[in-house]
Amino acid sequence: MSDVAPATPATAPDTRRGFASDNHAAVHPEVVEALVAANEGHAPAYGADALTAATRNRFREHFGPDADAWLVFNGSGANVASIDALTRSFEAVICTETAHMNVDECGAPERIAGSKLFAVATEHGKLTPGDVSRWEARRGDDHFPQPRLVSITQATELGTVYTLDETRAIADATHRLEMLLHVDGARLANAAAELDASLGELTTEAGVDVVSFGGTKNGLMFGEAVVFLRPGLGEGFEFVRKQLGQLASKMRYVAVQFDALLRDDLWLRTARHANAMAGRLADRLAELAGVEVVHPVEANAVFARLPRPAIDRLLSDWPYEQPFYLWDEARDEVRWMCSWDTTEDEVDRFGAAIAEAVASG
């Protein structure tokens, strides 16, 4: 008889959900199916397999014939590797104060890419062309970090979306100063769904040079991509990716997930649904005294202010261990995030719970 302890018995899956993050969502069944189908036999490692080659081509269908896509593990890695690839030691990145790379990557861009970030205060998380050109005065001054990359997030960290014209105007301001435009597209799909635009229209055709394209928040188990959109920009990126620990040995499992996402427009179906659920929640709140939605709801997030006792009640009463994040404690501001697997029924029950919590004073 074996003296090895038996594995923990399987329990029924916990089907409860919250509104904390699209990262809390399960993996989409079509992605699971694709993973299972790929899980046969051997395949060359480190991206030398046929599935990875096919997936890189799949990116070209969406982003245009020059798209040069490199698969990585996570979004922070995609951002840091993009910066590292496109800046020299004395060059800087212009981004927003609320940018994930500024506040949620633990200083990785500064430590690993070695780039200074010029973080700009914004309204609703969106950079403007003026934010790009205002650093121009000290270009050429050897005491000052030289701006080289502009990074915008689409959809933004505050659930807003740049229109195609807004993106184009930022790209023009960026290129006028011989800089490059990066898009943190952890939620690019949600922006495309909102604008009813293709991924190429949103990026390549609007003047974007490189994208960190998200998969994890939109139904993948894990995986993001750095997509260079202009010939030559991705040159040597395979070395950067490896140095930064973002090269998967069993690459086929990242590739097959993206293939599933980009095939048959799964990326769009999931993003449209998540956005619709956020819109539905915002509609539920529109008439509710005591709740103020603080940013336009244009993607899959709702940001709101409400009395602190109501927040505390919701956090303790909603039957899921981390129902949502208290985004800005000082302002009693919360973030409610929807994902591909949020249901209408959950939104309606959550809306009712918010109404009840606010009414209880």
Ligand X SMILES: Cc1ncc(COP(=O)(O)O)c(C=O)c1O
Q: Which residues contribute to the site for ligand X (CB under 6 A)?
A: 74-76, 100, 153, 157, 184, 186, 216
Q: Is 355 helix (H, G, I), strand (E, B) or coil?
A: helix
Phi, psi torsion values for 141, nearest 5 degrees:
-80, 120
CA torsion sign, 90 to 170 to 218 to 334?
A: positive
Q: How far is the CB of 169 from ligand X (least distance, A)?
A: 21
Closest residue to ligand X using C-beta atoms: 75
Q: Which two tokens stand for residue 282?
A: 């915002």
Phi, psi torsion values for 227, nearest 5 degrees:
-120, 110
Q: How far is the CB of 48 from ligand X (least distance, A)?
A: 25
Q: How far is the CB of 189 from ligand X (least distance, A)?
A: 12
DSSP-assigned states of every residue in 97-115:
TT-HHHHSSTTHIIIII--
Is the CB of 81 or the CB of 357 nearer to ligand X?
81
Is the CB of 216 or the CB of 342 nearer to ligand X?
216
Q: Which two tokens stand for residue 179?
A: 């800089």
Q: How far is the CB of 72 from ligand X (least distance, A)?
A: 9
Amino acid at 19: F
Q: 218: exposed, middle or buried (C-beta count within 10 Å: 0-12, 13-18, 19+)?
A: buried
Are residues 59 and 262 in contact, defined by beta-carbon separation less than 8 angstroms? yes
Is the CB of 79 or the CB of 204 nearer to ligand X?
79
Is the CB of 177 or the CB of 221 nearer to ligand X?
221
Q: How far is the CB of 96 from ligand X (least distance, A)?
A: 10
Residue 150 CB partners (closer than 8 Å, separation 6+): 93, 94, 95, 127, 132, 170, 173, 174, 179, 180, 181, 182
Is the CB of 49 or the CB of 224 nearer to ligand X?
224
Are residues 189 and 3 in contact, defined by beta-carbon separation less than 8 angstroms? no
Is the CB of 75 or the CB of 234 nearer to ligand X?
75
Q: How far is the CB of 76 from ligand X (least distance, A)?
A: 3
Q: How far is the CB of 163 from ligand X (least distance, A)?
A: 18
Is the CB of 74 or the CB of 218 nearer to ligand X?
74
- As a whole number of angstroms, the distance between CA 262 and CA 257 comes to 9
CA torsion sign, 346 to 351 to 353 to 354?
A: positive
Q: How far is the CB of 73 from ligand X (least distance, A)?
A: 8
Phi, psi torsion values for 185, nearest 5 degrees:
-105, 40
Is the CB of 123 or the CB of 142 nearer to ligand X?
123
Q: How far is the CB of 303 from ligand X (least distance, A)?
A: 13
End-to-end CA distance of the chain: 61
Phi, psi torsion values for 89, nearest 5 degrees:
-60, -25
Is the CB of 52 or the CB of 156 nearer to ligand X?
156
